Structure 1
Amino acid sequence: MANELTHFNNQNRAKMVDVTAKKVTNRFASATGEIKMLPTTLTRIHEGSIKKGDVLAVSQVAGIMAAKQTSTLIPMCHLIPLTGVDIHFSDNHSDTLKVTAQVKTKHVTGVEIEALQAVQTSLLTIYDMCKAIDRSMLMQNIHLVEKSGGKSGYFHYIG
């Protein structure tokens, strides 16, 4: 990794990095995160008895929409044409839901932030839909799992 920071101009002010000369490659990123809740909250999500509706369906759509809007929320992110966004859920059958987002593009810059944004928004949507019955929910372990494509190549979280 280069030690030089690329998000500063010659006046030491923030700038959006120029990616004009970068090569178009297939790019992929996967991110994950968890939301810990009361066991009764997870049960109600699975039963479909949350008053605001189908928590996982709404969370899934919210995550996809968020990935597509990342450049409007994160100031230095480039607008990237996404070719695929997929959100998956799993749980420990007790008190924790896990969200995993996979994002793809064929472009000049990567989609790590888009994958992380999808996870964060999916988790926030779960919180929003369940907060009336459980304000103690905790979002945790949010991180990039893997990424591929581009000059920096492949990354896999070992953690």
Structure 2
Amino acid sequence: MKKKFSHINKKNQPNMVNVGNKAVTKRKAIAKATLFLGKEIVANFTDNDIITKKGPVFQTAIVAGIQAVKKTSDLIPMCHPLSINGISINIDIVDQEHLEILCTVDIEGKTGVEMEALTGATVTALTIYDMCKSISQKIIIKEVKLLEKKGGKSDYKS
């Protein structure tokens, strides 16, 4: 059976999915963003952060990512506004040139939080880019992907 797009109605028009009849379940999503910063930027980290004139990079990026998770429905038209139970964003220096961001979002609701986790990871990465671009424009947001989703119709793990 061919799968159909959920946000297109029978007349091929945009449609926000009606989740009114769905059961409230625990849902969780984890997204990852990988950044290439280069040795020049990573060398500036002390105690897992860089303090700049704009403020501490990781702390600022985490707050931006949390705000982005909460604003996902304002940014992506077909996303439902959600009452988020928890958001966790972790940034790790992977090696002399790369960072990894993990964004985990938990809710009890009628729809998933994959888009919220992906948005949180992406905005965290963009904030790091913004705060470090004065040192180098060679920064690359290499990948943003969903690692895991639990709850709803099906679970997913990459």
Matched, 1:155 2:153: no
Q: Deviations over 1:15-46 (max 9, x none)?
A: 10111111100000000011101212112133
Find the residue that maps to 1:44 and give its secondary structure: coil
Matched, 1:102 2:116: no
The code of the aligned residue for 1:155 comes to Y
Find the residue that maps to 2:55 and give its secondary structure: coil
Q: Deviations over 1:56-102 (max 9, x none)?
A: 00000000000000000001001111000000011123011110000
Q: Give the aligned partner of residue 68 of structure 2.
A: 66
Question: Does the aligned pair in 2 maintain the 1:8–1:14 contact within 8 Å?
Answer: yes
1:138, distance to aligned residue in structure 2 (A): 0.2
RMSD of aligned Cα (Å): 1.4
Question: Does the aligned pair in 1 maintain the 2:101–2:125 contact within 8 Å?
Answer: yes
Identity %: 37
Q: 1:49 to 1:68 in 2, by over 3 A?
A: closer
Matched, 1:89 2:82: no
Matched, 1:11 2:29: no
The code of the aligned residue for 1:80 comes to L
Q: Give the aligned partner of residue 139 of structure 2.
A: 137
TM-score, normalised to structure 2, is 0.93
Find the residue that maps to 2:29 and give its secondary structure: strand
Alignment of 1:16-31 (within 5 A): 16-31=16-31
Find the residue that maps to 1:128 and give its secondary structure: helix
Instruction: Report the number of matched residues.
Output: 156
Question: Does the aligned pair in 1 maintain the 2:32–2:121 contact within 8 Å?
Answer: yes
Q: Distance in 2 between matches of 1:2 and 1:144?
A: 23
The code of the aligned residue for 1:5 comes to F
Q: Give the aligned partner of residue 115 of structure 2.
A: 113
Q: Give the aligned partner of residue 76 of structure 1.
A: 78
Question: Does the aligned pair in 2 maintain the 1:45–1:55 contact within 8 Å?
Answer: no
Question: Does the aligned pair in 1 maintain the 2:83–2:107 contact within 8 Å?
Answer: yes
Q: Distance in 2 between matches of 1:6 and 1:38?
A: 40
Unaligned runs of 5+ in 2: none
Q: Give the aligned partner of residue 126 of structure 2.
A: 124
Question: Does the aligned pair in 1 maintain the 2:34–2:144 contact within 8 Å?
Answer: yes
Q: Distance in 2 between matches of 1:40 and 1:49?
A: 15
Question: Does the aligned pair in 2 maintain the 1:32–1:100 contact within 8 Å?
Answer: yes
1:49, distance to aligned residue in structure 2 (A): 4.2
Q: Distance in 2 between matches of 1:146 and 1:26?
A: 14
Find the residue that maps to 1:117 and give its secondary structure: helix
TM-score, normalised to structure 1, is 0.93
